[in-house]
Structure 1
Amino acid sequence: MSKIFWNSLLIAPAVLGATLVASVSAIASEAPTAPTSVSSLDQPIAVETSDNGLAQVTSVSQLSDVQPTDWAFQALQSLVERYGCIAGYPDGTYRGNRALTRYEFAAGVNSCLDRINELIAAGTADLVSKEDLATLQRLQEEFSAELATLRGRVDALEARTAELEANQFSTTTKLTGEAIFAVTNAFGDQGPGGAELDDETALSDRVRLNLDTSFTGKDRLRTRLQAVNVPEYGTDRTGTNMTRLGFDGEGENDVNIQKLFYRFPLGDNTNVILDATGAEFYENIDTINPLFTSSGSGSISRFGRFNPIYRQGSGGAGLTVNTGFGKAVSVSLGYLADNPQTPSEKAGLFDGPNAALAQVAFRPFEALSLGFTYVRAYDPGFGVELDENGELVPLVNVTSSTGSRLARRPFGNVATATDNFGVEANFRLGSKISLGGWVGYTEAHAQAGALEGSDAEIWNWAANVGFTDLGKEGSLLGVIVGMPPKLTDVDGNRADDADTSLHLEALYRYPVNDNIDITPGLLVIFNPEHNDANDTIYVGTLRTTFKF
């Protein structure tokens, strides 16, 4: 009995090595496929016995997915045909590219050792010779140091893995964030109509924390927390909304849920986005302005980020569906309601401010992107909350605080519907130069009041050029020029914008490293409020963005 035991010990390293070679071939040939559930970790592999419903094989040819060209073919052939300790799946496969669990490994080694013991006890010298055992003993002694080192590394790895598992944030949720520090200042002689400018230098911030949860590996539930106190350089501070920054937000750094949505695939080419709050078309679809869309790393201004018609219906809840037709064409459909949580008149999911969007995007070749966008929007013209002065805040904001006062409310604060049309384009000249821009046209319709049935026309346009990797990889030098939304015609003997404002913006984003960007930028508005009697207004900013 002791001789049998000693011979088993001598041959164990060979069996161990052969079993490893045959059972974890995926580790050497390709990355193992992650299991889709906890239960899949305990599925049997081909080294287990027929107790699990697996069929014992006597020839490697019985395994349909094992080919002579496989790198572990000879090792597997030896285990099957010489020692007879390998079993296949009921469908006649071996599945050698599966990952191996500790339980499966133990079962396989035990099966092979039992078989070796049987061979030794039966005195099968032609299968297990003394010369073989002596050779295996020498190999065991020669590689003892390497085996000990490997054992130590495995033990250390297991300890580290246990520590990470014990302290990880979540098995399903990933935390990402962005923090912006901004030094800003508006300056000029005076604002439109002789208004004083708030021209003191300010230091402000915006912080966003994103909790991204996935339940299937292809979906995403995002909960975004935000705190912000960036001044809005709008009508109260400069006399015009044309000077607003792209990352502003009046507040006292109170933390709130700024965005909550769930995105999931529907088939191979369609994704669906359900927004519960903080819905934005420009975050759900392609705005065809990739270098400047982001508020943290793109344009410093509100107008310069993308066509203002993408802001219709912002802030509430809704549904967006994106479908791709190959790589060249995509279609987006969406509906957003700005005040869906209030079940009262001029509010709710359908009676309050809302917008419906349809867009077709084309990419005829890799360097060119085109977008054709239509948005039908409705503002009820009904105050729903009090501002800091105790006055009702009107909801009519046709141009989403990017253009003149007249363009914002062409009929005053009465119910207004709009048809918004946009054409967007972006063209890359090589790998480091990008040309882009858009044209937007809005036709507004008065839905109530003395001007009910009247129409108005509003135009806006912009062009931009971006130079990437200039000075350092990841950098961006950008110039944006355009005309903020302008009321060009209106019925009912109401005034339209007499002159034309010009938006000029320059910025340079410098990446300190992968997680920190510094962006100095200057925004200049000529003829604010589309009135050449108004003085030019400048807004300078130094935006530092931390990403983690």
Structure 2
Amino acid sequence: MKKLSKKILRLSPVVVAATFFAANSAMAGEVKEQVTPVSVLTSQDNIGQVTSVSQFSDVQPTDWAFQALQSLVERYGCIAGYPNGTYRGNRALTRYEFAAGLNACLDRVNELIATATADLVRKEDLATLQRLQEEFSAELATLRGRVDTLEARTAELEANQFSTTTKLVGEAIFNLSDAFGSARQAVPSGVNTATAAELQENIVFSDRVRLNLLTSFFGSDQLQTRLQARNTPIYDGGSTSQNRASITGTSMTRLSFDGDRGSGSGRGTTIGSNDIELDKLNYAFNLGSAARIKIDAFGAELYENVNTFNPDLASSGRGAISRYGRFSPIYRQGNGGSGATLTLNPKGPITVSAAYVAGAPNLTANNPNDGFGLFDGSYAALGQVSFQPSQAFNIGLTYARTYQNKGGISLFDGTGSQYANNPFNGAALTADNYGVEASLRLGSKITLGGWYGYTEAEAKGGAANGANAYSEYWAGTLSFKDFARPGSVLAFVFGQPPKTTGNEFIQANGIRRQDRDTSYHLEALYRLQLTDNIAVTPGVLVIFNPEHNDRNDTVYVGTLRTTFTF
């Protein structure tokens, strides 16, 4: 018996199974980047686990070897069985597959011998194992060679890996853009536009780089640390800085990935600085089987924490080219601060999310002074219920309560008109935001989506104290996946950016901060997926009646965005 034990290959069942599946992939010309746990490997007929030699093709169920190994499997439990303790199936198997099962039994018998329970191993079974081992020696040697190769590669990866717990995910954007039009929309609605300056056309080349360190300690949790550098000029209407704002004069022309420095706000002190900064820090973990909690220490963005119902266009690097075209502005409430999000997703079509974010950009939640902190300063509290009765249709109802009391007021975070973002001329405000969002898949390639939002704001100080303002917005999206090339997307967005439809506040100069007409947002883009890691997206953005004023000339923005992912 000791003599036989020296001949038995010391290959664990897990290693054997992993080698078997790796061998199949290699023979098929496939390359796998990730090892799948044995417990979740499934056969082609959806049987959940390889459980019997009778499930394995060149060795027929009528062969003596097949029957002999099946008897050993069932006697010594070499391979896990079905829940009811029986084995089923009568399919043949390849010699390599047979050798994998044989290895498992060799290992099991070797284990019994090593633990001084050799008396449990029958003498005739040892003879059968020896005969099987001799007949399948070539296949066993091949398996052993593949295991040795895998072990060598694993050792090399472990010796040179960045971290056992952390993965680096990067994205770099190179962008060319330019704005066109006969005049800069420097004045809001209701004011004579005769003073509008000439729109200075000039092509801009800019970039944005993000490095994400994704760390997991238990497998289901994630600590995200994001570093960012960027120098893409912003289109923030009303700003006096020397950037895109001084060219278009309206935030309706902002790009989806713009920004110089400063988390969330997209606004820095040095134009074109490209300084590296800590842009985001959060930790997410599961609470039971149906709940997930995400805690944002810095750089919270609600649209990354809850469903935005616009899967093809939500990404700033791979989705829409405009800021408004990515998703409803209701998800931009409180972005850039600190807070937490709870998502409940029990089995069924309903998902519930609740989030609280304190301290908008530049209004930090870790400031102990009056008017700041977690509960004394600006905040956004969001609740959302989504209903997805099928894979094709998803609809959500969203409510957000916000308060802004210090710094620059931007009710819709730089989307929409000046009056919509700052209805009370800088006064603190509270707002109730209501939204409905939906997406509908027409087959596997076409997706229809859209959103509608309504906001009631109330001034909390200054000359406008107690006044109310009302705003609304909407958009529809259409996207075609795998258009002309696998992974590519052709998409269109049309809608109305946030517009103040009513305002009780009248300034000292007699101007009511209420939009008089309606702007329309039209966007077309084509993301050409050149490789798995490189995508080129030409796109055009057209704003009709900028700042909701039909006296303003149409503005066009063209972009050519190249995104590298690694």
TM > 0.5 between the two?
yes
How far is 1:266 from its partner? 1.1
How far is 1:364 from its partner? 2.9
How far is 1:16 from its partner? 1.6
Q: Which residue of 2 aligns with 1:409?
A: 422
1:241 aligned onto 2:259: no
Q: Which residue of 2 aligns with 1:48?
A: none
Residue-by-residue CA offset, 1:337-390 (whole Å, 9 max, x unaligned)? 12202111221112222100011111133322111111110110x33xxxxxxx
Q: Quote the Cα distance in structure 2 between the aligned partners of 1:231 and 1:219.
A: 35
Q: Rate the CA distance shift 1:298–1:76 in 2: closer, same or farther, 3 A.
A: closer
Q: Quote the Cα distance in structure 1 between the aligned partners of 2:499 and 2:396.
A: 22
Residue 211 of structure 2 aligns with an amino acid whose one-letter code is L
How far is 1:234 from its partner? 2.4
Q: Which residue of 2 aligns with 1:358?
A: 383
Q: Quote the Cα distance in structure 2 between the aligned partners of 1:70 and 1:296.
A: 58
Q: Which residue of 1 aligns with 2:57?
A: none
> Within 5 A, what are the aligned runs for 1:20-169?
32=38, 73-75=70-72, 108=112, 110=114, 140=134, 152-169=145-162
Q: Which residue of 2 aligns with 1:268?
A: 289
Q: Which residue of 1 aligns with 2:317?
A: 296
Q: In structure 2, which of residues 213, 219, 228 is the aligned counterpart of residue 226 of structure 1?
A: 228
1:400 aligned onto 2:408: no
Give the total of aligned pairs.
469
Instruction: Give secondary structure in 2 for the equivalent of 1:192.
Output: coil
1:546 aligned onto 2:564: yes
How far is 1:441 from its partner? 0.7
Residue 284 of structure 1 aligns with an amino acid whose one-letter code is N
Q: Rate the CA distance shift 1:143–1:310 in 2: closer, same or farther, 3 A.
A: closer
Q: Which residue of 2 aligns with 1:497?
A: 515
Q: In structure 2, which of residues 452, 456, 459 is the aligned counterpart of residue 439 of structure 1?
A: 452
1:418 aligned onto 2:423: no
Q: In structure 1, which of residues 468, 474, 479 is the aligned counterpart of residue 487 of structure 2?
A: 474
Larger Rg: 1
Q: Quote the Cα distance in structure 2 between the aligned partners of 1:415 and 1:168.
A: 51
Residue 165 of structure 1 aligns with an amino acid whose one-letter code is E
Q: Quote the Cα distance in structure 1 between the aligned partners of 2:486 and 2:442.
A: 17
Instruction: Give secondary structure in 2 for the equivalent of 1:364.
Output: coil
Q: In structure 2, which of residues 472, 476, 491 is the aligned counterpart of residue 463 of structure 1?
A: 476
Q: Quote the Cα distance in structure 1 between the aligned partners of 2:394 and 2:139.
A: 57
Q: Quote the Cα distance in structure 1 between the aligned partners of 2:322 and 2:545.
A: 17
Residue 502 of structure 1 aligns with an amino acid whose one-letter code is Y
How far is 1:289 from its partner? 1.4
1:210 aligned onto 2:212: yes
How far is 1:296 from its partner? 1.0
Instruction: Assess if the C-alpha contact under 8 Å between 2:185 and 2:552 holds in 1.
Output: yes
Q: Quote the Cα distance in structure 1 between the aligned partners of 2:215 and 2:13.
A: 37
Q: Which residue of 2 aligns with 1:59?
A: none
Q: Which residue of 2 aligns with 1:83?
A: none
Q: Quote the Cα distance in structure 1 between the aligned partners of 2:372 and 2:13.
A: 66
| Structure 1 stretch displaced more, 410-419 or 154-163 | 154-163
Instruction: Give secondary structure in 2 for the equivalent of 1:165.
Output: helix
Q: Quote the Cα distance in structure 2 between the aligned partners of 1:283 and 1:128.
A: 59
Residue 345 of structure 1 aligns with an amino acid whose one-letter code is D
Residue 460 of structure 2 aligns with an amino acid whose one-letter code is Q
Instruction: Assess if the C-alpha contact under 8 Å between 1:502 and 1:526 holds in 2.
Output: yes
Structure 2 unaligned residues grouped into runs of 5+: 22-35, 41-65, 79-84, 86-100, 187-195, 238-244, 262-272, 507-511
Q: In structure 1, which of residues 521, 524, 532 is the aligned counterpart of residue 550 of structure 2?
A: 532
Q: Which residue of 2 aligns with 1:452?
A: 465
Q: Rate the CA distance shift 1:198–1:231 in 2: closer, same or farther, 3 A.
A: farther
Residue 464 of structure 1 aligns with an amino acid whose one-letter code is T
Residue 376 of structure 1 aligns with an amino acid whose one-letter code is R
1:518 aligned onto 2:530: no
Q: Quote the Cα distance in structure 2 between the aligned partners of 1:408 and 1:470.
A: 37
Residue 404 of structure 1 aligns with an amino acid whose one-letter code is S
Query: TM-score, normalised to structure 2's length?
Result: 0.75
Residue 205 of structure 1 aligns with an amino acid whose one-letter code is D
Residue-by-residue CA offset, 1:190-238 (whole Å, 9 max, x unaligned)? 1114134342111111111111111111111111111111111222231
Q: Which residue of 1 aligns with 2:402?
A: 377
Instruction: Assess if the C-alpha contact under 8 Å between 1:375 and 1:420 holds in 2.
Output: yes
How far is 1:71 from its partner? 9.0
Q: Quote the Cα distance in structure 1 between the aligned partners of 2:130 and 2:383.
A: 72
Instruction: Give secondary structure in 2 for the equivalent of 1:529.
Output: helix
Instruction: Give secondary structure in 2 for the equivalent of 1:350.
Output: coil
How far is 1:79 from its partner? 7.2
Q: Quote the Cα distance in structure 2 between the aligned partners of 1:76 and 1:148.
A: 21
How far is 1:492 from its partner? 3.2
Q: Rate the CA distance shift 1:104–1:77 in 2: closer, same or farther, 3 A.
A: closer
Q: Which residue of 2 aligns with 1:280?
A: 301
Q: Quote the Cα distance in structure 1 between the aligned partners of 2:542 and 2:74.
A: 77
Q: Quote the Cα distance in structure 1 between the aligned partners of 2:14 and 2:389.
A: 48
Residue-by-residue CA offset, 1:246-274 (whole Å, 9 max, x unaligned)? 11112422111111111111111111110
How far is 1:335 from its partner? 0.4
Instruction: Assess if the C-alpha contact under 8 Å between 2:543 and 2:555 holds in 1.
Output: yes
Q: Which residue of 1 aligns with 2:270?
A: none
Instruction: Assess if the C-alpha contact under 8 Å between 1:22 and 1:76 holds in 2.
Output: no
Q: Quote the Cα distance in structure 1 between the aligned partners of 2:75 and 2:463.
A: 94
Instruction: Assess if the C-alpha contact under 8 Å between 2:112 and 2:118 holds in 1.
Output: no
Q: CA RMSD in A?
A: 3.6
Instruction: Give secondary structure in 2 for the equivalent of 1:336.
Output: strand
Instruction: Assess if the C-alpha contact under 8 Å between 2:285 and 2:294 holds in 1.
Output: yes
Instruction: Assess if the C-alpha contact under 8 Å between 1:208 and 1:226 holds in 2.
Output: yes
Residue 282 of structure 1 aligns with an amino acid whose one-letter code is Y
How far is 1:105 from its partner? 8.9
Q: Quote the Cα distance in structure 1 between the aligned partners of 2:301 and 2:125.
A: 73
Q: Which residue of 2 aligns with 1:122?
A: none
Q: Quote the Cα distance in structure 1 between the aligned partners of 2:12 and 2:371.
A: 70
How far is 1:104 from its partner? 9.2
Residue 247 of structure 1 aligns with an amino acid whose one-letter code is F
Instruction: Give secondary structure in 2 for the equivalent of 1:283.
Output: helix
1:488 aligned onto 2:509: no
1:16 aligned onto 2:8: yes
Instruction: Assess if the C-alpha contact under 8 Å between 1:195 and 1:239 holds in 2.
Output: no
Q: Quote the Cα distance in structure 2 between the aligned partners of 1:276 and 1:517.
A: 32
Instruction: Assess if the C-alpha contact under 8 Å between 2:72 and 2:125 holds in 1.
Output: no
